Each structure stands twice: as C-alpha cells, then as structure tokens.
Amino acid sequence: MRAPARNHKIKGMSALRDAPRAAELLEWYDRHARDLPWRIGPRARAAGLRPDPYRVWLSEIMLQQTTVPAVKPYFEAFTARWPTVVDLAAAEDADVMAAWAGLGYYARARNLLKCARVVAEEHGGVFPASHEGLLALPGVGPYTAGAVAAIAFDIPATVVDGNVERVMARVHDEHTPLPQAKPVLTEMAAALTPDARPGDYAQAVMDLGATICTPRNPACGLCPWRGACAAWEAGTMAELPKKAPKKRKPVRHGIAYLARRVDGAWLLERRPDKGLLGGMLGWPGSDWGDDPQEAPPIRAEWKTIEAEARHTFTHFHLRLTLRTALVPMDRAPCRGDFIESSDFRPGDLPTVMRKAFDLARGG
C-alpha cells in the first residue's frame, strides 16, 4: 500500500515525516482555543454562530503588531463606548484618538475612523463580505482583509501574519530570511489552508504560533504538528524564521515645554495628522534631532527639569529635555491651546508625552 500522505524527502538519518494537515490543527484548536473577547469559540461556531464583523475588524486593527494583553482593555473600552461601527463613525476624532492613546501606531486610529465612516456612509453600516471589498478599506491590508474574511465570514482566505510565517518556516524548515521569504511562506500557508472551517483554521494557526510555536522556547512537545515539522526533525526550530539583521537605533534629542496657567490649565498642542504621533495631543516643543533649537510656545520664565524623559520609538531613541513654567491668565500662547485642568487627562496623551508629564509633575 502506498502512503501518499507521507513526505519522502529524507534528511540525514531522519524518520519519515507526516505532511501537516489542517484537520490535526483543528482538532487541537477544538480543545485548546483561547477564550478572547472578540472571538466565537469553535463550539459556538459549529452551532452556526458567527462573530460580529465590527468586533472582528476592530480587534484585528488593534492586534496589528500589538500583543493580546495590550489590546484587551482597549477593545473592551472601545466596544463599550462605541458598540457598532455606526456609533464609531459618529464619534469625534479627538475622542477616538484619546481612547487609542497608549496603544501606539496612531495611524491605525486615524484609519479606524476613516474606515468606520466609509462603512457607515458607503456600505450602509455593513462590512463588505469579501476579501476584495475589505482590502479596499482604509487601514485594511492583505492580512487584515484575509483575517476578517475568514473569521467573520468563513471565507477560505489565506491569512499570513507573523505567527503563520514562523509556523510555516519551521514546519518546512525554510531558512531563507524574512522579508525575502514572505512569498514562499505565503505559498506554503495557502497550500495548507482548508476549505472547511476557514475562520477556526485562521485562529488555530495564530493560537498555535502564540502559545506553542512561540518565537523563543517553542513547546514542541505539545504541538499537534510536531510529527510533520521539518525544523523539529532537523532541530532548527529555535533559529527559525531567519530575519534580516536590524539596524541600530540612533539617539535623537528634543525639548518639550510644559506650561501651566495659574488656574491649572495645561498648554497642549494637537500634532499634525502625518508623521510620528500624528493626530495626537502633545506638549509643544522643538524638532527631534541631533541639536534641537529652543522653541518656547509662550513667553515665560522656563525652568529646566533635572531628569530627561527617555523613550524608544520604532526607529530611534529619544531623550527629551523638559522645561516648565507657570504663566499668568492674560498671556496668549503662540502655539497650542490651554486645556482646563478638569478637561485634561494624562491618559489621553501618547506614552512619551505622558512620561514627560509624570516627570514634570513629580519633579
């Protein structure tokens, strides 16, 4: 009897390896699926339930380059405050940006609102039920379109995120470094994607990557695909996926000005939509570079705080010199606006600006 399911490519003294099968992964998922606020579990899905596309989309946007623990409280807050995409579409920009503060990658929040308004105004408040339609939405790329199509609509889309790349690289012992390997890893993922249970399958691979096939110390002993894993056989799982070497982050310097009016109001400035921290509230200040120039937003006696605020962004380290001043009621700023003490919440600021506030208030 032939064994067509066997992989006969033999490396060294290895035993025959099984081909990875979606069914094995789905069986594992049926027993080990994570319980997440935006998710419909495999049992409920089998009973015919589907998750709300709005919640799936919202979670997928939040989860871009962001961990599940970081997302959970934001997801709860957003869905409590804006239960439907139409509610979100009607929100004030500043409220959404404030609610997103601390989660990072703020272009996501701007695109989130754009997308909600497109869905509300051009699609009657209903998310498009196709990969192509989803892909056309602001902030929705190939991954998110596939994930929403599969999870919310059970469309058999190939979903390739960082988890899938890692799992495919290991299962096939693929040593080509990322991002060069992306096309071949996508092909491998497509070859494994089943027609049945696309939503469960997409979540199953991501759960596998998040809980078993982790970047460090993978729990291969618990893996449903261990018998099919070429990296396990070769002992290379810890070094996969290979990645192009990273550049060192340069250090940039800046000055931030924290002005408090005698009535307690704080001088803040809305940053332009484009660029770093775009659309967020922040302290007025200098540019961030090698040699920042003074740029006080209002005439005052500025005092420099001893400690500088340190913060690391995606591509540089920032050391922020903080200057504070107390200014009288009748003096007008040349940049920014005073926000009444009762209207100001530090939590509305992006983290770097909140750090500056904490330092200035504490010192």
What residues act catalytically?
Answer: 60
Does 161 contact DNA by CB under 7 A?
yes
Q: How far is the CB of 328 from DNA (least distance, A)?
A: 32
177 binds DNA (CB under 7 A): no
Diameter of the chain measured on Cα atoms: 92
Binding to DNA (CB under 7 A): which residues in 238-297?
243, 246-249, 275-278
- Contact pick of 20, 91, 155, 163 for DNA (by CB under 7 A): 163
Q: Does 220 bind DNA (CB under 7 A)?
A: no
Per-residue DSSP letter, 243: B
How many residues line the site for DNA (CB under 7 A)? 59
Question: According to the binding rule CB under 7 A, does residue 351 interact with DNA?
Answer: yes
- The whole-angstrom separation of Cα 137 and Cα 132 is 9
Alpha helices, H only, 123-239: 131-135, 142-153, 162-171, 182-192, 198-211, 230-234
Question: Strand 251-261 to strand 317-327: parallel, antiparallel, or no bridges (unpaired)?
Answer: parallel
* Short-list 340, 356, 185, 354, CA closest to 263: 340
The answer to whether 169 contacts DNA (rule: CB under 7 A) is no
Cβ burial of 38 (10 Å; 0-12, 13-18, 19+) is: buried
| Residue whose structure tokens are 């596998």 | 208
CB of 343 to DNA, least distance (A): 20
Could you say whether residue 77 binds DNA (CB under 7 A)? no
Quick one: CA dihedral 61, 67, 70, 72, positive or negative?
A: positive
CB of 55 to DNA, least distance (A): 11
- Least Å from the CB of residue 263 to DNA: 28
Residue ranges binding DNA (CB under 7 A): 34, 36, 39, 59-60, 63-70, 102-107, 111, 138-145, 147, 161-163, 166, 179, 203, 206-207, 209-210, 214-216, 243, 246-249, 275-278, 311-315, 350-352
